[in-house]
Amino acid sequence: MSGETTQSVVIVGVLAAFFTGMFGYALWRTRPRTDPELDRVYTELALESAPVPSASRALGGMRAIARMYIWLGALVTALGLFAILQQGFEFGNAELTIYAIAGVVVLWAAAVPFVLRRAREASVSVLAPLGLTQDGSRIVGERHGRQVSIDITTAGSLTRVDSAGDPIIVRRRGHDGASWLLDLREAELRASS
């Protein structure tokens, strides 16, 4: 094995370990799961008297989309690492592997309109029973005669409920599922007292 080949193997090994950890953690965070407390809060906050879907099930639709993107990212990454090994060990056809990566990426990009439509449908199914809608990274609506806005940022969320006096604001650092539901409940309780 030449020095260049050994270097390629070491680089691919380190990158493979890094990306396995990264994609593995992302898949673990988006795994299907139930959350009885979240379901209780979601049902409590629902404005509709008809039975509402469980929050866990409704959010599961959003998680499925996220998991699909994670798997596609893992596939593209694995193919890229494989192309590096092909080049380093001079076997197979690295150029063909690069074309395969391009094909996956083009199909992935072509699916974006369908994915966005599915994400929109999942968002509507979660938010409609709460009297809320999605507006970009904001969740907005009117609940109990008060304007509500929830800003989701990379740092966390900010929930604002207008009241007779100053608006009630609840800030949360980080993201833990749909923790903004807990913040909405807290803000509305404070606004009514």
Rounded to an integer, the average pLDDT of 118-137 is 85
pLDDT over 90 at 93, yes or no? yes
Give per-residue burial for 177-188: e unless 16+ CB within 10 Å, then b.
ebbbbbbbbebb
Long-range contacts made by residues 163-171, C-beta under 8 angstroms, separation at least 24? 163/190, 163/191
Whether residues 114 and 143 fall in one domain:
no
Domain boundary among 82, 106, 129: 129
Is the domain of 116 the same as that of 184? no
Residue 97 sits in the same domain as residue 30: yes
Nearest-angstrom CA–CA distance, 166 and 37: 29
Q: Please compute the mean of the pLDDT values over residues 19-24 and round it to a whole number.
A: 95
pLDDT score for 51: 58
Contacts of residue 144, defined as CB under 8 A and 6 or more positions apart, other chains included, come to 188, 192
- pLDDT confidence band for 8 (50 / 70 / 90): confident
> What is the extent of the structural domain holding 138?
131-193
* pLDDT for position 1: 59
pLDDT at residue 118, as a whole number? 81
Residue 56 has pLDDT above 80, yes or no: no
State the average pLDDT over residues 159-175: 88
- Whether residue 54 has pLDDT greater than 70: no
> 110 and 30 share a domain?
yes
Task: Find the mean pLDDT for residues 1-27.
Answer: 86
Co-location of 61 and 122 in the same domain = yes
* 170, pLDDT greater than 70: yes
Mean pLDDT, residues 167-186 taken together: 86
Task: Report the chain's mean pLDDT, rounded to a whole number.
Answer: 86
Alpha-carbon distances, residue 149 vs 14, 145, 154 (angstroms):
44, 13, 16
Q: Are residues 160 and 193 in the same domain?
A: yes
Domain C-terminal end among 80, 107, 129 = 129
33 and 97 in a common domain = yes
